[in-house]
Amino acid sequence: MNLHFSVIIFENMNDENGRNGRVGYFDTARVISIYWIVYITHLRNYLDESIEAYWSDELFDITRSCVTLLMFISGYLLSKYKFNKIQDAVFFYKRRFIRFYILFAISALTLYLMNFNEGLGLLVTTLLGISSYMPPQPGTLWFISMLMSFYLLTPLISKIFNYFNTPCCIVILLTLTVVFIFLEKNFPIDNRLHINFFTFSLGLKFGEANYLNKIISKPLIGVIAIFIYLSLILLRLTSNIVYNFDVIIGGLSLFYVSKWISISSITKIMAILSYGSMALYLYHRQCFIIEDYMYRHYIGMTGCYGSTSLWFAIAIIIPSSICIAYFIQKMYDKVLCTYKTNQ
């Protein structure tokens, strides 16, 4: 019995919402975003300090757009759920728990035991999905903890969206965004909440209305989006309005790039890489910490944090973490299949 429970975001890419076939460029977009975050943004923390000289604000802008894109994909793929009665919401929460929460909880616990995220209180707020509203945020897992809170609100958001057309929903979301910005400025909540809630909810609405395919089918929009995005990065404008527009247009640009490079052979590779993407995001820090320690104490013999060789990272850390993530996801799916078979 072959059940595909791979999801960062956290859904099977097979169409379950009336759109036939596998959406290949979703796999590509997800892999590009997660691999950029994991191997460009996070891995550099463990490499030789000379690598840091190549890091720039422009590269970090791409990271922010990758996070925004993942939030949008998450909402988009959850748009297939319909909440007509209480049982529908219960079913949705049950699936979130099985598909996502168990692996997330194990990751949070192991990072706590490895002293990456320190403090029992932080572990509790992370596991409850409230760390965005009760700082501090956990390293790496802040994104997942924030997403959990959006999952809790998904039935309500979806139900509200059913009563309004897309333009009205966008107005509602923009109004809520202003409210979130006010709260972020006056209360100790995560200042990334407003943009991530907006893109997650926009994904829910676009998935329901199937707007994304209509937009992606127009290449001229993609060319314009990429031009605007690169211009904003190079100009380094710093206002809040530009910042929010920047990450959204960046996410759209990444979607177009994913669409354009999703030829048959690449799509097959991306589908395989996408399968382990959730586990990779959840467990890459554990892999990095262990392999960085091995290098510093037994291979490079430097003993200093931030001294791992780039060649060691390329030859050992990157391929091994991909394989470990794939194995974790495969074993987890096998456990779920066995459990389902025994029911």
- pLDDT tens digit sequence for 192-213: 999 999 999 999 999 887 778 7
How far is the CA of 78 from the CAs of 10, 67, 82, 97, 166, in angstroms? 9, 17, 9, 14, 17
What is the reported pLDDT for 50?
74
List the structure tokens of 27: 């796999």
Angle at 326 between CA 89 and CA 115, to 5 degrees: 80
- The predicted structure's pLDDT at residue 246: 82
Cα–Cα distances (Å) from 145 to 123, 233, 264, in that order, read: 11, 28, 35
Residue 16 DSSP label: -
Q: Measured on CA atoms in the order 321, 325, 326, 328, is the torsion positive or negative?
A: positive
Structure tokens that stand for 258 in this block: 């994913």
Is the pLDDT score of 20 beyond 50? no
Say if pTM beats, i.e. exceeds, 0.85.
Answer: yes
**2: pLDDT confidence band, cut at 50, 70 and 90?**
very low
pLDDT tens by residue, 147-179:
999 999 999 999 999 888 888 999 999 999 999
Amino acid of residue 255: F
Mention every residue, 6+ apart, whose C-beta is less than 8 A from residue 226: 253, 256, 257
* Residue 265 vs residues 23, 203, 234, 262, 271: alpha-carbon distances, Å: 14, 27, 33, 8, 10
Q: Which residues touch 340 (CB under 8 Å, ≥6 apart)?
A: 1, 3
What number is the average pLDDT over the span 14-29?
59
Whether the per-residue pLDDT at 17 is higher than 60: the answer is no
For the chain, give percent helix, strand, coil, nearest 5: 75, 0, 25
Confidence of residue 52 (pLDDT cuts 50, 70, 90): confident
